[in-house]
Amino acid sequence: MFKTILFPIDQSRASQDAAEKVAEIVKFCQSKLIILSVQTPPEEATEPTGTANPSVDQLLQNAKIAFSDWGIAAETIKQEGRPAFCICDYADEIDADLIVMGCRGVGLTEEGAAESVSNRVINLAPCPVMVIP
């Protein structure tokens, strides 16, 4: 059903909460899992990040270990750019069958909808998107 699942993550609690559901789906469908983290370039970031962000590498490593503990081998990818566009472009590049991502709920207001990465991914994705609240 879903051969390749893309799981975009960030430092948010929503990403952490979605991981267990991702594991269930990957196991059920016997899918290949790719974990993607997108770092916003320093000139576009709202908070200072510096030129290198070891926390992104640590985030990906921790996610890979967590999925390994669930018996799932995952590939990790780090990119720099605008998150929604990078997620959708990468999903298209790898021919992902499904994108599963957490949602922080910022898109529940009109002001937040324009800033919501999950909302943008839903509108731009080349494949189905499952958003885990």
pLDDT-derived band of residue 131, with 50, 70 and 90 as boundaries?
A: very high
- The answer to whether 57 touches 78, Cβ cutoff 8 Å, is yes
Domain with 32 in it: 4-132
The count of domains in the chain is 1
Single pTM value for the model: 0.86
pLDDT of residue 47: 52
Q: How far apart are CA 44 and CA 42, in angstroms?
A: 5
CATH classification of the domain holding 81: 3.40.50.620
Q: Could you tell me which of 71, 92, 86, 100 has the C-alpha nearest to residue 37?
A: 86
Q: Which tokens in the block code for residue 69?
A: 């503990």
How many CA atoms lie less than 13 Å away from 24 in the CB half-sphere?
Answer: 6
Q: How far apart are CA 80 and CA 47, in angstroms?
A: 15
pLDDT tens digits, 59-84: 999 999 999 999 999 999 999 999 99
pLDDT tens digits, 1-58: 899 999 999 988 999 999 999 999 999 999 999 999 999 887 665 554 444 556 899 9
